[in-house]
Amino acid sequence: MRVVFMGSPEFAVPCLRALAANHDVALVVTQPDKPAGRGGENGRVARAPAVKVAAQELGLPVFQPVSAKTGDLEKALKETKAELAVVVAYGKILPRAVLDALPRGCINVHASLLPKYRGAAPVQRAVMAGEIETGIAIMQLDEGMDTGPVILERVVPILPEETSGELLARLAPMGADGMLEAIRQLAAGTAVRTPQDHAHATHAPMLKKSDGIIDFTRPADLIAAQIRGVDPWPGAQAQLRGQLVKLFRARLTDGTAGRAPGTVIDINADGLHISCVGGVVAVRELQIAGRKRMTAKELAAGRGVAVGDKLTRPLETPNSGDA
């Protein structure tokens, strides 16, 4: 089938590669390059989206419109003479004119079990909420935010100590497989589009830097889930001995709190055991600002932390923006 691919981040790359290996990709549409890091005449270097890099490696034509609403995207899609557009984390809501530009419209690969976790950060929000399962949904796009009818879903468990980054990496190839199956069904005329139950919808907004702030007066299970959910970005942050510290590899233990929230009650090979409301969270790895990431035992051996220390909210709230 002749198709157009629309996507931007690393999560979308396995879908692009699978599509290119099995179908005729007429055009790849992705976000414009964005400034990142330092260097260049204006002090910042433009960074291409992961999908653009992969498309160039595959020798596919790339289009990077600034907006989906000017008519340029609709025109570009029609000129390809493609049948279908596949959209994976493109980053913009598409207007009706774009959705209708191709005969079979647009299908989307979404990393949640819809209607739960509609929005920009479904994997991160599912992990942060302590969900025990998630999956991939392939849906027909409409003008809403992930509101279209679902063609198929694949369900997977969320592993007990899995971070959002690890889960995204695990879901990406599953999304590619589901995408290919959905296209097979569309081509065969067997695809069933099941409307979502909007009454059970939840929203998964884009993460902010402030989502990484850890408040140890919250329930222990949600603190452990939050630390995993904001890994790798924006990272879980707390204050320790007057310094900003990032927390990694958290899990809920069988321990009993018994001390004020945030108090370190033990340090062993399992990590830094921190008293929280209703339980104890073990944090295996930490990173003091300006230093390398290390295990809790390594930090304790260097006298950077000890039993009885207390972790608190950072003294200064990180910028609430997303970059």
Q: Is 96 in the same domain as 220?
A: no
Report pLDDT for 322.
Answer: 44
Q: Is 60 in the same domain as 193?
A: yes
**Containing structural domain, residue 251:** 209-312
- Does residue 320 belong to any structural domain of this protein? no
Q: Is 235 in the same domain as 117?
A: no
Q: Is 110 in the same domain as 244?
A: no
Tell me: the pLDDT tens digits for 134-153?
Answer: 999 999 999 999 999 999 99
- Does residue 251 belong to any structural domain of this protein? yes
Q: How many whole angstroms separate alpha carbon 177 and alpha carbon 172?
A: 9
Tell how strand 264-268 and strand 34-36 pair up: unpaired
Q: How many whole angstroms separate alpha carbon 214 and alpha carbon 75?
A: 47
Q: Is 60 in the same domain as 160?
A: yes
Domain end residue (candidates: 153, 175, 200): 200
How high is the mean pLDDT of the chain?
94
- Does residue 235 belong to any structural domain of this protein? yes
Q: Is 67 in the same domain as 190?
A: yes
E strand or H helix at 135, and its extent? strand 133-140
Contacts (Cβ under 8 Å, ≥6 apart) of 101? 73, 74, 77, 78, 85
Q: Is 51 in the same domain as 191?
A: yes
Q: Is 192 in the same domain as 217?
A: no
Report pLDDT for 316.
Answer: 58
Report pLDDT for 45.
Answer: 82
Q: With 50 as the cut, is the pLDDT of residue 321 above it?
A: no
Q: Is 100 in the same domain as 190?
A: yes
Domain end residue (candidates: 178, 200, 222): 200
Q: Residue type at 154? A: R
CATH of the domain at 266: 3.10.25.10
Domain end residue (candidates: 183, 200, 217): 200
- Does residue 323 belong to any structural domain of this protein? no
Report pLDDT for 257.
Answer: 85
Report pLDDT for 293.
Answer: 96
- Does residue 20 belong to any structural domain of this protein? yes
Q: With 80 as the cut, is the pLDDT of residue 310 above it?
A: yes
Query: Cβ(165)–Cβ(231) under 8 Å?
Result: yes
- The structural domain count of the chain equals 2
CATH of the domain at 131: 3.40.50.170
What Rg do the C-alpha atoms of the chain give, in angstroms? 22
Q: Is 173 in the same domain as 255?
A: no
Q: Tokens standing for 165?
A: 């980054």
Q: Which residue has the tokens 């899990």?
A: 251
E strand or H helix at 17, and its extent? helix 13-22
Tell me: the pLDDT tens digits for 257-306?
Answer: 889 999 999 999 999 999 999 999 999 999 998 999 999 999 999 999 99
- Does residue 318 belong to any structural domain of this protein? no
User: Strand, coil or helix: what is 99?
Assistant: helix
Q: Is 196 in the same domain as 299?
A: no
Helices 164-188 and 13-22 cross at an angle (nearest 10°) of 30
Tell me: the pLDDT tens digits for 15-54?
Answer: 999 999 999 999 999 999 998 765 555 556 889 999 999 9
- Does residue 164 belong to any structural domain of this protein? yes
- Does residue 321 belong to any structural domain of this protein? no
Report pLDDT for 320.
Answer: 46
pTM for this entry? 0.93
Q: Tokens standing for 175?
A: 């999304």
133 pLDDT band (50/70/90 cuts)?
Answer: very high
Q: Is 158 in the same domain as 14?
A: yes
Q: With 90 as the cut, is the pLDDT of residue 318 above it?
A: no
Tell me: the pLDDT tens digits for 220-265?
Answer: 999 999 999 999 999 999 999 999 999 999 999 998 888 999 999 9
